[in-house]
Amino acid sequence: MSTSDPQVPGRDGGKPADTTHFGFRDVPVEQKQKLVAEVFSSVAGKYDLMNDLMSLGIHRVWKRYFVATAQVRPGDRVLDLAGGTGDIAALLKDRVGDTGELVLGDINGAMLRVGRDRMTDRGNVRGFEYVQCNAEKLPFPDASFDLVTIAFGLRNVTDKAAALREMHRVLKVGGQARVLEFSEVTADWFKPIYDFHSFKILPKLGSLFAGDAGSYQYLAESIRKHPPQAELKGMMEAAGFARCGFRNLSAGIVAIHTGYRV
């Protein structure tokens, strides 16, 4: 559904400074972080199962491509923000090797614990660090990472511009930032199908398999409120990144955004 469709509230921008969006609702800025935390604490235990059901498993292909095309070498130090259940970190481990270091960061303690347990169960113990942190105020020194990634997390950040500035700050010169996020579908014929899936099927799946329809209603709404491809590219440029670009996957259901610190 396009941003001009009157049924869908507008994306980021144009709101009073003291309010922001939580799905299609306007809420006080200071409340959004708590509301998002409640969503992800609720779904943490069923997060991977629900991702498989919602995307028919395609999210695993998107994530593998995201990591396979990243600028990363053995021995690099990598920060994976909104690391959740550790899918991206596990894939990155093969790229950085035994001499590399992976910091898995997430603002939500429940999600971070799931990720840590998953890594331990897989035997991935060495080379990992787990940090509960806010992407808008990262607790790391300037120029301390070769690569910073965030997958399916930026849309849940209250101040996206601040998070992008922080990602730029902690990157080394020549380092790469990569964002994998739901975006704006490009094919007009597919938009009604995608909307039906998002607003009719997703909440029902959430109710049946996770006992939580409301959280998945929010997730569908948060996708529609997230800045589309060209707008997010402009936000990365405004944050200081150079050579910014994006690649659509699956007709724009998701997009990979890339920027560099120079």
Which residues fall in the annotated binding site for S-adenosyl-L-methionine?
85, 106, 134-135
Which residues fall in the annotated binding site?
85, 106, 134-135
Please state, in angstroms and rounded to a whole number, the distance separating the CA atoms of residues 247 and 180: 10
Question: What b/e sequence results for 38-55 when a residue is b if at least 16 CB atoms lie within 10 Å of its CB, and e otherwise?
Answer: ebbebbbebbbebbebbb
- Dmax (CA) of the chain: 52
| 236 neighbors 259 (Cβ within 8 angstroms) | yes
Distance of CA 235 to the CA centre of its chain: 15
| 89 neighbors 62 (Cβ within 8 angstroms) | no
DSSP 8-state secondary structure symbol assigned to residue 201: I
